[in-house]
Amino acid sequence: MMSIHIKQRGFGVFFLQKKVEKIKFGLITIYEYLNSKNNLLQIESNNLIAKYSFYLNSNMLNLNLKKKYFSSVFNALKY
């Protein structure tokens, strides 16, 4: 009677270990997915930052050039 109980308990431990392994594997898989998704979002964010920084800088440069042009035209008209 005792040996049957031990065998059943052994099977339960084996079953539990398999469940734990599956859960660990699932957590690792979820972690890898979320980590790769995070990396992808970081790359996309960096690309957007670079794109709009370039856009902003080019617009600021254009405004400065226009300001210099119109100030020189205005100064020429003053004299």
Question: pLDDT by residue (tens digit) across 18-75?
Answer: 888 888 888 888 889 999 999 999 999 999 999 999 888 888 888 887 777 777 766 6
Measured CA to CA, the distance from residue 47 to residue 51 in angstroms comes to 6
**Global pTM?**
0.50
pLDDT of residue 59: 83
**Residue 6 in this model has a pLDDT that exceeds 90:** no
Residue type at 16?
A: L
**What are the extents of the domains in the chain?**
23-79
Measured CA to CA, the distance from residue 46 to residue 38 in angstroms comes to 12
Residue type at 9?
A: R
pLDDT of residue 9: 57
Per the model's pLDDT, the better-predicted residue between 10 and 49 turns out to be 49
